[in-house]
Amino acid sequence: MEKPLDRTRASVESRVRDVLIGASLEKVTYAITYWELVFLAQHDVALMAAEILLPDQESTEEESAQAVKVGSLLLRLTNKSRVVAVDVQSSGNMIVSFSGGESIRFLAQVPSVDWTWSIDTKGFRFVCDGALE
């Protein structure tokens, strides 16, 4: 029987760091209701999110303008940068930083959704649905 995942911020951050640090962004998919990022590490890593922002962006910005800014950055990072840092905050937000100095922010509080971001790879799956313990 599989042991339940420890949902404390420190535990989730440690596992996400283990999976993402050193990984390169290989594929970006955008749909109206979600983003899907595929990273290449020891195993493929799928990171899905209801909303991704740049660190200085506000979520009140018009949605299509947000998507254009984030999408432009992600396309520039594809096949060129590796993840160098991951910060999972107690709010559940996650900031992923890349080797070129760029960062993206995954929001943990998004209106009208029951999950906000998830990560899935061989041996590890986590779905964020709000603040962490």
Q: What is the mean pLDDT of the chain?
A: 86
pTM reported for the whole predicted model: 0.86
- Contact in structure between 83 and 90 (CB atoms under 8 Å): no
Output the pLDDT for position 133. 58
Output the pLDDT for position 61. 61
Give the Cα separation of 108 and 26 in Å (integer).
24
Output the pLDDT for position 41. 85
Q: What are the C-alpha distances in Å from 9 to residues 23, 62, 87, 93, 129?
A: 21, 30, 10, 10, 13
Residues 6+ apart with CB under 8 A from 34: 48, 49, 50
DSSP tag of 97:
E
Q: Which residue has the tokens 């990072």?
A: 77
